[in-house]
């Protein structure tokens, strides 16, 4: 009891230690399994999928009264964000990387079902054994284990399905029995459902909070009409580019789940970087909606990131993937401004 009280009195230190421990576990797992570079990238995307779908499933569990969390900083709608980051590192990467060895690349649906049942049962038993030390929780209903069982089966099952679907397009099945892969368009929507709120809602708000915490005065001013117009243009351009990636390129806008074919249709017939232009337009809409000096700094940072990361690194990756076809395409089309 004294140990529990000590941890609760130093909960910020506990949260930091827990995160470092989970990151260390992921590093040890990587050193042991030595997954190929593609498996590393796919595993990180699957961990992102587990984080995002797990956050929504957790919100549902809280909504229906299965459990509630302590009031803690670094939370969204009462859900501690670092808890789901830890869980993605601890369970997400292990779940998908260990599946390379067993059940393996090609096996029956029954073997995959057994693999998922084993992970779900082990995690549920771990939660039950550690119930006294689930310190993030404030209350838990008597039927919490039912919600936990549904939560684990859903989130871990989706993580495996997502992992096995990355890079697949047109194939009848993803390798988990007869289960079809999640199509590129749906994977794109899933990625955007995370990246848009994170980069254009959550992070800008945290930048303003940080400025206020350092004692700076922040008084946002809204400029009417411009934000909805710019946001609409960003949505149309980004959605059009995403559609071309999925339908013509058989891939997504995410560099680790890229198109399998060179896309030169739709907005890509006019500019080489419509997704990046869409992101800049959306950030500009946000800037004009809540104009302040932290928002201006964030806008400058986004423009710099687009130019440095996507403009340079992505160009090299596309050149390596598509060779002379990409070189010919870039001679026809500019990066951000259509040719006359």
Task: Give residue-wise pLDDT tens across range 19-45.
Answer: 999 999 999 999 999 999 999 999 999
193: its two tokens: 């459902």
Q: Comparing C-alpha atoms, which of 37, 186, 172 is closest to residue 97?
A: 37
CA 143 to chain centre: 30
d(CA 257, CA 45): 9
Q: What is the pLDDT of residue 171?
A: 83
Domain residue limits, the chain = 2-165, 184-332
- The whole-number pLDDT of residue 86 equals 95
Q: What does the pLDDT read at residue 43?
A: 95
Confidence of residue 92 (pLDDT cuts 50, 70, 90): very high
* pLDDT at res. 221: 80
pLDDT of amino acid 1: 66
Predicted pLDDT at 337: 80
| Residue 323 scores a pLDDT above 70 | yes
pLDDT bucket at 106, cuts 50 / 70 / 90: low
| Residue 311 pLDDT exceeds 80 | no
Going by C-alpha positions, the residue among 111, 18, 23 that lies closest to residue 72 is: 18
Residue 113 has pLDDT above 70, yes or no: yes
Residue 134: pLDDT band with limits 50, 70, 90:
confident
Q: Among residues of the chain, what percentage have pLDDT more than 70?
A: 97
Please say if the pLDDT value at position 190 is more than 90.
yes
170 pLDDT band (50/70/90 cuts)? confident
> What pLDDT is stored for residue 257 in this prediction?
93
Pairing of strands 79-80, 137-140: unpaired
Spatial contact of 291 and 220, defined as CB atoms under 8 Å apart? yes
Q: How confident is the model at residue 236 (pLDDT cuts 50, 70, 90)?
A: very high
Q: Does the structure show a pLDDT above 90 at 217?
A: no
Mean pLDDT across the stretch 95-119?
Answer: 86
- Residue 92 DSSP class: I
145 Cβ contact list (under 8 Å, min separation 6) = 124, 127, 128
What per-residue confidence (pLDDT) applies to 335? 81
pLDDT recorded at residue 53: 96
Query: DSSP readout, 1-64?
Result: -HHHHHHHHTHHHHHHHHHHHHHHHHHHHHHHH---HHHHHHHHHHHHHHHHHHHHHHHHHHHT
Tokens of 15: 């949260």
Bridge-based pairing state of the strands 67-69 and 75-76: unpaired
**Do 89 and 54 touch, CB atoms closer than 8 A?**
no
Are 218 and 292 in contact by the 8 Å Cβ rule? The answer is yes
- Tell me: cis bond preceding 103? Omega within 30 of 0 counts: yes
Architecture of domain 184-332: Up-down Bundle (1.20)
Cα 268 from chain centroid?
Answer: 25
Mean pLDDT across 194-212: 88
Q: Ramachandran region of residue 161, left (φ > 0), alpha (ψ -120 to 50) or beta?
A: alpha
Confidence of residue 93 (pLDDT cuts 50, 70, 90): very high
The strand pair at 137-140 and 67-69 is best described as: antiparallel
> Given pLDDT bands bounded at 50, 70 and 90, which one contains residue 243?
very high
Confidence of residue 105 (pLDDT cuts 50, 70, 90): low
Handedness of CA 295, 296, 298, 299 (dihedral sign): positive
State yes or no: pLDDT of 101 exceeds 90.
no
Dist CA 227 CA 291 (whole Å): 11
């Amino acid at each position: 009891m004294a140990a529990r009280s000590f941890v609760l009195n130093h909960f910020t230190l506990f949260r930091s230690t827990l995160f470092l421990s989970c990151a260390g576990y992921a590093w040890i797992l990587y050193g042991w399994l030595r997954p190929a570079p593609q498996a590393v990238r796919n595993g990180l995307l699957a961990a992102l999928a587990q984080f995002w779908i797990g956050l929504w499933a957790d919100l549902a569990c809280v909504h229906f009264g299965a459990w509630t969390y302590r009031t803690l900083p670094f939370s969204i709608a009462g859900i501690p964000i670092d808890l789901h980051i830890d869980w993605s590192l601890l369970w997400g990467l292990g779940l998908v990387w260990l599946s390379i060895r067993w059940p393996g690349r090609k096996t029956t649906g029954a073997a995959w079902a057994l693999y998922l049942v084993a992970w779900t049962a082990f995690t549920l038993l771990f939660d039950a054994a550690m119930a006294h030390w689930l310190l993030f929780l404030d209350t838990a209903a008597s039927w919490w284990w039912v919600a936990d069982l549904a939560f684990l089966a859903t989130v871990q099952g989706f993580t495996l399905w997502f992992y096995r679907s990355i890079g697949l397009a047109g194939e009848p099945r993803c390798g988990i029995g007869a289960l079809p892969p999640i199509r590129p368009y749906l994977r794109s929507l899933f990625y955007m459902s995370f990246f848009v709120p994170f980069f254009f809602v959550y992070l800008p708000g945290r930048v303003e909070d940080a400025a206020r915490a350092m004692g700076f005065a922040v008084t946002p001013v809204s400029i009417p009409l411009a934000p909805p117009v710019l946001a609409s243009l960003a949505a149309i351009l980004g959605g059009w580019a995403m559609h071309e990636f999925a339908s013509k390129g058989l891939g997504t806008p995410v560099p680790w789940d890229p198109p399998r074919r060179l896309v030169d249709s739709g907005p890509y017939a006019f500019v080489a970087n419509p997704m990046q232009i869409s992101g800049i337009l959306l950030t500009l809409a946000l800037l004009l909606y809540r104009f302040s000096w932290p928002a201006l700094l964030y806008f400058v940072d986004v423009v710099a990131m687009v130019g440095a990361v996507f403009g340079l690194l992505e160009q090299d990756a596309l050149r390596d993937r598509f060779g002379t076809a990409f070189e010919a395409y870039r001679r026809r089309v500019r990066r951000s401004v259509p040719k006359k």
